[in-house]
Amino acid sequence: MNFWNYVLRRLVGIVFVLLGVSVVTFLISHIVPGDPAAAALGDRARDEQLKAFRAEYGLDRPVPEQYVIYMRGLVTGDLGKSIRTRRPVAQDLREFFPATLELAIAALFIAILLGVPAGIWSAVYRNRLPDNLVRIFSLVGGSLPIFWLGLLMIGLFYDRLGWLPVGGRIDDFIPPPQTITGLFTVDSFLTGNMPALESSVQHLILPAFVLGYFSTAVIARMMRSSMLEVLNQDYLRTARAKGLKERTVILRHGFRNALIPTLTIIGITFGSLLSGAVLTETIFTWPGIGRYATAAALGLDFPAVMGVTLIAGIIFPLSNLFVDLSYAWLDPRIRHG
């Protein structure tokens, strides 16, 4: 029962986080100088058109009244109507969020697949050649700007070699798969649409690698630091004294405990990836919420900006909750309550 009470308290806390995020974002979006009506209709719009537009979106009312109306709709699941697309914000998010989710999952998978073994390898061979190589890789990964790496990958694998496509989630001449989850790779696999699966995977490789490269460096550094602390613990010396192979000592006894701090970084990384990889989505013309949020901010589309912000406000606490719950699985001594 203590476990479920803990989860319930955390979920209730998320509600208060969203309330605070909504207040701050709403105030900031209305303090920013600019007229959404003029941005949407253009400089040549007549005064009557501007007044009608403001009345349609409630922009002619006092800010506190606008916030109350917005929160009243939010309780019923209504995120408002986008000024830029003229569609419900909830509908836009349902369309764009699966693309970002697919990209974030692929990027995190690459980061974990490369970062965790690299960190272990670096710690085991401390101050030797493998360690130096991993440290250089981590330094470069944390220093390279994403936009520069993205342009470099496009120039190499698309322009020069012609191995991978760039732009969108699937080739224009291939119809998108039947929507089940919204993830093209998953939906293509579930429906047996092999041409769509091949095309969607090819389009996913470059942006996922670029987005995941920085996270790979962060995870590798954290994994190395955690493993260095664990390798000198008494229980590992005991395991070696029992005659266990070094591989077994490291992977079975050391890795699980060293993974706990790294898991925290993984959770935070996944939250930041899901919040919208603006640069990566822009460079690769990936139709996710990062590009959607950028266009909304430039167009003073307050409802859309609020919708994306609330999504981010949900993702980060949920990611942290999942990480906290995973601690007990990795270390039975940890209890929630």
Q: How do residues 166-197 score in pLDDT, each as one tens digit?
A: 888 888 888 888 888 888 899 999 998 999 99
Distances (CA, A) of 121 to 113, 130, 205, 238: 13, 7, 25, 22
- Is residue 16 a part of any domain in this protein? no
Q: How do residues 205-260 score in pLDDT, each as one tens digit?
A: 999 998 888 888 888 888 888 888 887 777 777 777 777 787 777 877 777 777 87
Output b/e per residue, 59-95; b: 16+ Cβ within 10 A.
beeeeeebbeebeeebeeeebbbbbbbeebbbebbeb
What's 189's domain CATH number? 1.10.3720.10
The answer to whether residues 222 and 138 touch, using CB atoms and an 8 Å cutoff, is no
pTM for the full model?
A: 0.83
What's at 175, amino acid-wise? P
- The first and second tokens of residue 136, run together, are 């250089």
Domain count, the chain: 1
- Is residue 82 a part of any domain in this protein? no
- Is residue 86 a part of any domain in this protein? no
Cα angle: 176, vertex 180, 181; to 5 degrees: 95
pLDDT < 70 stretches in the chain: 1, 3, 34-35, 39-40, 42-43, 275-276, 328-337
- Is residue 316 a part of any domain in this protein? yes
How many residues comprise the chain? 337
The whole domain housing 259 covers 93-330
- The first and second tokens of residue 24, run together, are 């701050």
- Cα 306 from Cα 324, distance rounded (Å): 28
Q: How do residues 292-301 score in pLDDT, each as one tens digit?
A: 888 888 777 8
Which residues on neighbouring strands pair with residue 81, listed in sequence order? 88
